[in-house]
């Protein structure tokens, strides 16, 4: 049996009783970082064989895990923090288990995106999780633009090294929407900053970001739609004016002396 086990995102007290029981009874634990997982298991006095399962060996290690499952072994998969398969390895393993008819389940638990969404104060009834944005500026803007007209609250993960660039791109693509930035969730210095994108970008420019961040952005509103219609309308008028100038001016040859 395959168990995808959610683990704490910061506070060790958040681990569930089911997660602990699953880790104790599994034949082997596959983890993103065996050193970090070893510390987690040691904290709860659990001793189990560990194997690496991360983005760089996902295919090879995944095949080994599926082979263990076919032998009847119980394998628990964990990430460094949070839920396997959410911006961490796990999706391909679940798909492989389905294709081979192998049983698997999840042991639910912490997920930073849900906690940040609730704490943001933005609508929670419908949301879109996009994970990490691409690193390159042009690709990042196109990635963000996919959801420019979406009415759903948008959730992103971002590293401290690219947070400022991300906020600048989001402001450019979405306009100055309401947003929230969450950091160190469940830890001693948990922080959730709320405001417009421009305000958040300005506040962060005076600090040195540390740790991973969750950025929650308001979905498109009627105000955004009206703004976009105005911008599109102005662009259409400019195009029509350019076309009119071309008709009145004639061919370039008319200007030849």
Distance CA 8, CA 218 (A): 27
pLDDT over 60 (residue 24): yes
Nearest-angstrom CA–CA distance, 239 and 237 = 5
Mean pLDDT of 183-197: 96
Q: Are strands 213-217 and 28-31 parallel, antiparallel or unpaired?
A: unpaired
10 Å Cβ neighbour count for 105? 12
SS3 call for 167: helix
Mean pLDDT of 167-179: 97
Q: What is the pLDDT of residue 225?
A: 63
Least confident window among 70-74, 134-138, 145-149, 235-239: 235-239
- Residue 190 scores a pLDDT above 60: yes
Report the mean per-residue pLDDT for the chain: 90
pLDDT tens readout for residues 89-133 = 899 999 999 999 999 999 999 999 999 999 999 999 999 999 999
Q: Is 219 exposed, middle or buried (0-12, 13-18, 19+ CB in 10 A)?
A: buried
Q: State residue 226's pLDDT score.
A: 61
With a cut of 50, say whether residue 58 has pLDDT above it.
yes
Mean pLDDT computed over 155-172: 97
* Residue 147: partners with Cβ closer than 8 Å, 6 or more residues away: 128, 130, 154
Q: pLDDT confidence of 66, banded at 50, 70, 90?
A: very high
What pLDDT does 251 receive? 44
Please compute the mean of the pLDDT values over residues 37-51 and round it to a whole number: 96
Region for residue 21 given its phi and psi (left: phi exceeds 0; alpha: psi -120 to 50; beta: otherwise): alpha
Give pLDDT, residue 244.
Answer: 54
CA distance 53 to 38: 14
Residue 1: closest CA among 103, 116, 81: 103
- Higher-confidence residue: 133 or 252? 133
* Neighbouring C-alpha atoms within 13 Å toward the C-beta of 38: 7
d(CA 196, CA 193): 10
Q: Which residue has the higher pLDDT, 140 or 247?
A: 140
- Report phi then psi at 10, rounded to 5: 180, -50
pTM above the 0.85 mark?
no
Q: Please enumerate in sequence order all residues whose Cβ is within 8 A of that of 217, keeping only pairs 6 or more positions apart, or say none.
A: 122, 153, 154, 155, 156, 170, 174, 177, 178, 179, 197
Query: Domains plus CATH for the chain?
Result: 2-107 (3.40.1010.10), 112-222 (3.30.950.10)
Q: Where are the alpha helices (DSSP H) in the chain?
A: 17-25, 34-43, 58-70, 91-99, 112-120, 137-145, 163-174, 197-204, 222-249
Confidence (pLDDT) at 89: 86
pLDDT at 257 over 70: no
SS (H, E, C) 110-149: CCHHHHHHHHHCCCCCCEEEEEECCCCHHHHHHHHHCCCC
User: Percent of the chain having pLDDT more than 90?
Assistant: 81
Unique residue bearing structure tokens 């949301």: 127
Question: What is the band of 254 on the pLDDT scale with cuts at 50, 70, 90?
Answer: very low
């Amino acid at each position: 049996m395959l168990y995808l086990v959610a683990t704490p995102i910061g506070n060790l007290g958040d681990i569930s009783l089911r997660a602990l029981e699953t880790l104790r009874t599994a034949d082997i634990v596959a983890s993103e970082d065996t050193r970090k997982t070893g510390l987690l298991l040691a904290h709860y006095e659990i001793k189990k064989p560990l194997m690496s399962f991360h983005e760089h060996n996902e295919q090879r290690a995944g095949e080994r895990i599926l082979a263990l499952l076919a032998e009847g072994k119980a394998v628990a998969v964990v990430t460094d923090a949070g839920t396997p398969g959410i911006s961490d390895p796990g999706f391909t393993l679940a798909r492989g288990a389905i294709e081979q008819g192998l049983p698997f389940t999840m042991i639910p638990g912490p997920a930073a995106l849900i906690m940040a969404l609730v704490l943001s104060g933005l609508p929670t009834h419908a949301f879109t999780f996009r994970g990490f944005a691409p690193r390159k500026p042009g690709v990042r803007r196109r990635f963000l633009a996919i959801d420019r007209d979406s009415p759903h609250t948008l959730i992103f993960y971002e590293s401290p090294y690219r947070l400022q660039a991300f906020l600048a791109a989001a402001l450019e693509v979405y306009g100055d929407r309401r947003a929230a930035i969450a950091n160190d969730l469940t830890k001693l210095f948990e922080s959730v900053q709320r405001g417009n994108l421009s305000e958040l970008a300005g506040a962060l420019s005076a600090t040195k970001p540390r740790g991973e961040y969750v950025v929650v952005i308001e979905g498109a509103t009627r105000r955004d739609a009206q703004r976009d219609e105005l911008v599109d309308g102005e662009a259409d008028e400019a195009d029509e004016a350019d076309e009119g100038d071309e008709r009145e001016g004639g061919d370039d040859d008319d200007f030849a002396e």
